[in-house]
Amino acid sequence: MSIQPGAPGGCCSPLVREPVGEADAAELARVFKALSDPVRLRLLSLVAARSGGEACVCELVEPFDLSQPTISHHLKVLREAGLVTAERRGTWVYYRAVPATLGRLAAVLTPEAVTA
Amino acid sequence: MSIQPGAPGGCCSPLVREPVGEADAAELARVFKALSDPVRLRLLSLVAARSGGEACVCELVEPFDLSQPTISHHLKVLREAGLVTAERRGTWVYYRAVPATLGRLAAVLTPEAVTA
DNA sequence: GCCCTGAATCGACAGCTGTCAACATAGGCC
DNA sequence: GGCCTATGTTGACAGCTGTCGATTCAGGGC
């Protein structure tokens, strides 16, 4: 999970500044792959844009014309990519976006050295 | 190609600000899918980080242990996603990154309203 | 304990993706 | 024109991915 906040390495300097190494590319690709599905993008956005920053699964199934196991599968992919976290509270499971992961990706994609 | 510079619509407000619509999600997913392969990430980075901002295919095949047709395939995916452009000059074809597309993605992923 | 509801996992299957070898196309040079 | 080099395209094939129905697991309320 080298993309997570903890990683201090050069993993997140902009793509355009220097060629990304093999290992970093593999790690980044894993996260981008999680974002490469329209359903997952909307799920992430639904969770992140919600007031309070969290949503339970039941609220996430409704907007889609998909089965609950399918939504659950997509949420798992987002979780394993470090883009969301899940917390069980009683009967329900609440999901939250992980801003740090989003920030890392944004930094990597920044076309000019705005980060400097 | 609604992600290209031309599009003035609300397509690129941050993911976390409001739920992304179905159409925008599909378009974004297309571009993220192009970034979801380690080889393509490295290709994009190799092109963008190059001094002069461009690289010919011959220079891009070399760093990989892959056949030239495979690299050509990946470059086509990047091209169709609007992430790079290709220009033929004589015998060689030169690729360039498209900063505007990268910028859009970075804006969409920005966790807080830095854009405002 | 028993049942009910919310969520995750499993098994299966169609469709997509990355890769290659073989071939086709484009431009320069003799 | 004819050849050579640099790219792109095609066809094929293994492996991954999104989806579902069926099942299982977790908590709460009776």
Residue B37's nearest nucleotide, by CA–C1', is C18
pLDDT band at B1 (very low <50, low <70, confident <90, very high): very low
Q: Answer yes or no: is pLDDT of B8 > 50.
A: no
Contact B99 A105 (CB under 8 A): no
Arithmetic mean of pLDDT, B69-95: 97
CATH code of A66's domain: 1.10.10.10
Q: Is residue A54 part of a domain?
A: yes
Strand C proximal to A33 Cβ, under 7 A: no
pLDDT digits (tens, 9 = 90+) for A90-108: 999 999 999 999 999 999 9
Is A114 part of any domain? no
Tell me how far apart the alpha carbons of residues B78 and B84 are, in angstroms, rounded to a whole number: 6
Domain membership flag for residue B100: yes
Task: Find, among A103, A111, A110, A106, the residue nearest to A4 by Cα.
Answer: A103
Residue B67 in domain: yes
- Encode pLDDT of B26-52 as tens digits: 999 999 999 999 999 999 999 999 989
Distance between the alpha carbon (CA) of A58 and the C1' atom of C19, Å? 41
What tokens appear for B11 in the block?
A: 């397509």
Q: Pick from A16, A37, A99: which is nearest to B29 by CB? A: A37
> In chain B, at which residue ranges do the beta strands (DSSP E only) sit?
54-56, 84-89, 92-97
Instruction: Decide if A44 is inside a domain.
Output: yes
CA distance A36 to B27: 10
Q: How many CA atoms lie within 13 A of B95 on its CB side?
A: 29
Q: How many domains does chain B have?
A: 1
Is residue B58 domain-resident? yes
As a whole number, mean pLDDT of residues B75-88 equals 97
The Cα–Cα gap between B55 and B95 comes to: 5
Is B10 a member of any domain?
no
As a whole number, mean pLDDT of residues A68-94 equals: 97
